[in-house]
């Protein structure tokens, strides 16, 4: 790689960070931290990262899990418990110990934040009610969230503190209940209309190695799914034979890891991943902008997820993340930036600002969080044919399926515009287009205006798409 390219890549990374800093200034982030991470060598780094994003102007709420610590304290005290539909069932005398465990974990979080000079406060902002008796079964000390003291929480945030929520809620009469930290984090995000909800759990990875990934859902070079919209989440759950309604996936107040699948790293059960996806769907449908499932075994996963387009985990979103739209004049610098390496490699013909000003109405772009990451064009000719040209995808996003989406979109546009035929010319990417359904054709079939621009020195191949098949698919 040349020095120019190295500097360019560094500059793009810095620009991304600045763009996200501006975008998420004063944004509210809810972070669930699995208590297994407290004993991890990465715990201190995760805390440092949380403090840095807080210092950068984001508002942060921390919800620590306490399953591991509750187990330890109950075992040490000789108190038995059981699980019913993955809910921890205990007698009332266990509740003081559960409360002790929950606050012990919260205190560890607060102490670690204080070590980084970040002010935090632990509070009892959760009103709860007992889960009660369902189908004849008494859930005892297990509770559900009834109400949050939203005004109090917002005041604490406004004063620059980080609120910490233990997994305990209190009834109006002051009776404590053990509630789900994972569900508590989701409910806090919903009630406060959070911009982001993070689930930081060791080994929580959604990848092609561990799960079946449906066609059309892109993966990173490492095989992870960087993002899914709600429709894609349903497709993913169906592909992995999991019903898409949350009632089919149960989890206790602090989930028991009973059913562990060896293909999922570090003993994260498939059921827990599916529960997180269901909660993510519910949160997004209730107004939370984005939910992120992060592998807490990876150093730096939090800032990478916030300040880069592909992030480090899996993001679930409702809308306003990325998509195809018509190009505008303001997009020209971004489009030229995307095209630059392909022009240098001889894959694309040179483009100029002046040329794009004349042709921008034929282009579409793929925008991710305000940055142009891909482009393509559909150019009409007098004889009714149309040409797909200028297809370029930023190399960082080359594995997540953006290119095929652009091409398929333009093919459908050609059908809508009653094109006689659609073609493209390529020198180095014929195999890629053939995988999308294009087939080789002869130079003689090109429109006269396009044929006049073809040169034997470049020797571009002609590929064509059967528009009749698209008509049948879309009827």
| Residue 171: alpha-carbon gap to chain centroid | 35
pLDDT band at 472 (very low <50, low <70, confident <90, very high): very low
Q: Give every CB contact of residue 81 below 8 A, 6+ residues apart in sequence.
A: 74, 88, 89, 90, 94
pLDDT of residue 100: 95
CA torsion 182→303→37→64, rounded to 10°? -30
pLDDT of residue 5: 66
Q: What is the DSSP-derived secondary structure letter of residue 362?
A: G
pLDDT band at 306 (very low <50, low <70, confident <90, very high): confident
What pLDDT, in 10s, does the model give residues 245-272?
Answer: 544 444 444 433 333 333 334 446 788 8
Which residues, listed in sequence order, are joined to residue 120 by a DSSP beta bridge? 162
Q: Write out the two tokens for 416.
A: 């809508």
pLDDT band at 322 (very low <50, low <70, confident <90, very high): low
Q: Give every CB contact of residue 371 below 8 A, 6+ residues apart in sequence.
A: 16, 19, 309, 334
What pLDDT, in 10s, does the model give residues 352-400?
Answer: 999 999 999 999 999 887 789 899 999 999 999 999 999 999 887 777 7
Calpha distance 54→27 (Å, rounded): 10
Q: Give every CB contact of residue 443 below 8 A, 6+ residues apart in sequence.
A: 451, 454, 462
pLDDT of residue 26: 84
What pLDDT, in 10s, does the model give residues 68-107?
Answer: 999 999 999 999 988 887 678 998 999 999 999 999 999 9
pLDDT of residue 223: 84
Closest CA relative to residue 206, chosen from 159, 108, 115, 276: 276
pTM of the complete model: 0.74
Is pLDDT at 156 greater than 70 in this prediction? yes
What pLDDT, in 10s, does the model give residues 421-466?
Answer: 999 999 999 999 999 999 999 999 999 999 999 998 899 999 999 9
β-strands 290-295, 196-201 pairing: parallel
For 131-276, strand residue ranges (E) read 133-134, 137-138, 143-148, 162-164, 168-170, 176-178, 196-201, 227-229
Residue given tokens 């998420």 in the structure block: 24
């Amino acid at each position: 790689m040349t020095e120019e390219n190295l500097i360019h890549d560094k500059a793009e990374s810095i620009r991304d960070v600045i763009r996200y800093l501006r975008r998420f200034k004063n944004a509210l982030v809810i972070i669930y931290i699995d208590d297994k991470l407290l004993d991890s060598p990465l715990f201190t780094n995760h805390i440092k990262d949380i403090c840095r994003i807080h210092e950068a102007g984001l508002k942060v709420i921390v919800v620590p899990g306490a399953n591991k610590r509750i187990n330890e304290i109950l075992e040490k005290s000789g108190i038995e418990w059981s699980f019913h539909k993955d809910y921890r069932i205990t007698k009332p005398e266990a509740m003081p110990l559960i409360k002790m465990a929950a606050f012990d974990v919260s205190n560890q979080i607060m102490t670690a934040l204080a070590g980084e000079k970040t002010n935090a406060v632990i509070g009892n902002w959760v009103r709860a009610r007992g889960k009660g008796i369902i189908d004849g079964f008494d859930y005892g000390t297990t509770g559900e969230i009834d109400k949050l003291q939203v005004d109090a929480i917002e005041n604490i945030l406004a004063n620059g503190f980080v609120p910490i929520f233990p997994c305990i809620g209190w009834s109006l009469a002051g009776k404590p209940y053990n509630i789900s930290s994972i569900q508590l984090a989701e409910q806090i995000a919903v009630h406060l209309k959070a911009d982001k909800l993070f689930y930081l759990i060791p080994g929580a990875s959604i990848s092609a190695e561990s799960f079946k990934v449906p066609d059309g859902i892109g993966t990173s070079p490492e095989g992870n799914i960087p993002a899914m919209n709600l429709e894609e989440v349903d497709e993913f759950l169906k592909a992995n034979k999991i019903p898409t309604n949350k009632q089919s996936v149960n989890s206790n107040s602090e989930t028991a890891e009973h059913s562990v699948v060896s293909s999922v790293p570090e003993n994260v059960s498939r059921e827990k991943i599916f529960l997180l996806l269901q909660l993510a769907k519910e949160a997004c449908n209730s107004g939370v902008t984005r939910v992120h499932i992060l592998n807490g075994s990876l150093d730096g996963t939090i800032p990478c997820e916030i300040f880069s387009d592909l992030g480090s985990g899996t993001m679930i979103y409702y809308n306003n993340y990325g998509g195809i739209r018509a190009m505008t004049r303001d997009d020209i610098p971004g489009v030229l930036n995307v095209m630059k390496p392909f022009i240098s490699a001889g894959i694309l013909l040179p483009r100029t600002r002046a040329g794009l000003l004349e042709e921008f109405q034929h282009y579409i772009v793929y925008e991710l969080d305000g940055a142009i990451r891909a482009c393509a064009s559909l150019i009409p000719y007098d004889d009714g044919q149309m040409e797909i040209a200028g297809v370029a995808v930023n190399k960082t996003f080359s594995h997540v399926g953006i290119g095929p989406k652009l091409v398929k979109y333009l093919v459908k546009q050609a059908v809508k515009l009653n094109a006689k035929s659609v073609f493209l010319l390529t020198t180095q990417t014929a195999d890629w287009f053939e995988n999308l359904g294009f087939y080789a054709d002869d130079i003689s079939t090109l429109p006269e205006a396009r044929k006049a621009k073809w040169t034997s020195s470049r020797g571009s191949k002609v590929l064509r798409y059967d528009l009749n098949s698209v008509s049948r698919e879309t009827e």
